[in-house]
Amino acid sequence: MDPLAEQTMEPYLYVGNNPIMFVDPTGMEKVVPRNMTDEQKAKLENSIKEFSERSFLFKELYNRLESSSKEHYIDINPNSKYEGGVMKNENGSVLTFRSDDYLSSEGVMYEEFFHMFQYDLGGSDENLNWEFEAKTFVMIASQDFRSDKGVSSTYINLLKNDFKADVDKKKKGTIKEFSKNIFSNKFNKTFIEEANIFSKYNRNTNYGGDTYKSDTTSEPSNLQNFFNGIDQKK
């Protein structure tokens, strides 16, 4: 039985209401693997540990999901229509990969976990291109500022200047600087402009689904929430 059942009123919510197929020994996990072999679960666990050690921002992202009141599941489904992606469910999200190879891909895991975070906040992508926001998080969290489809060199250089981690600074100072920059008028103006360049590129090349092609009129609210949450804890 789920130790959180008193809060959720669903005693088997910890295994997606299917106690036969899924197992969460403590009932406290919020990021739960499903439809995985023991080897795949171990691969996922090792990747999360490795990425958390490599990036304190990914570690914080994972911790935010784990401390959420919502549930997020990770599936391996060889018959999935897509190679990978996150879908919203009744109380959180489901991340599905066609292959377990993606579990060890740093960029993919950073991006898809951030998509889970976007759903965790319950926000809307109506006025915000979530794909561009997630790619922005990936570049900052991985400190890998390389160009990508539809992402201009102007934006890459802005991220390098404003979000390059200083190894000589303590983590607290780095977070405060990142938080200040993410709320700056300069960054938010540029983010909206560049997000629309990204969506226009995807429309012109017919790359990606609708989420890649939607225009942006609002600030990156999920990124702001993320950095503000870290800053308040420090």
Residue 2 has pLDDT above 60, yes or no: no
Task: Look at residue 90 in the predicted model and tell me its pLDDT.
Answer: 84
Give the number of C-alpha atoms closer than 13 A to the C-alpha of residue 64, restricted to the C-beta side: 24
Band the pLDDT of 30: cuts 50, 70, 90: confident
Same domain, 75 and 176: no
In-domain check, residue 102: yes
Q: Does residue 210 form part of some domain?
A: yes
Count of structural domains within the chain? 2
Q: What is the pTM of this model?
A: 0.84
Residues 82 and 157 in one domain: no
Tell me the longest C-alpha to C-alpha distance in the chain: 53
Domain boundary among the residues 120, 142, 175 is at 120
Does 165 fall in a domain? yes
Percent of the chain with pLDDT over 70: 82
Radius of gyration of the chain (CA): 18
Residue 88, strand partner residues: 93
DSSP reduced 3-state for 151: coil
Residue 146 pLDDT: 86
Structural domain including 182 reads 130-233
pLDDT at residue number 229: 83
Residue 125 belongs to some domain of the structure: no
Q: Is residue 56 part of a domain?
A: yes
Q: Do residues 61 and 161 share a domain? A: no
Residue 204 domain-assigned (yes or no): yes
| Pairing label, strands 84-89, 31-34 | unpaired
pLDDT-derived band at 233, boundaries 50, 70, 90: low
Provide the pLDDT confidence category of residue 81 given band limits of 50, 70 and 90.
confident
Tens of pLDDT, residues 103-146: 999 999 999 999 999 999 987 778 999 999 999 999 999 999 98
Report pLDDT digits (tens) over 170-211: 566 677 888 899 999 999 999 999 999 999 999 999 999 899
Within 55-184, where are the H helices? 56-66, 106-120, 130-142, 153-163, 171-182
Note whether 72 and 144 are same-domain residues: no
Q: What is the predicted pLDDT for the residue at 176?
A: 83
Q: In the block, which residue shows the tokens 């958390």?
A: 52
Q: Which two tokens stand for residue 170?
A: 């303590």
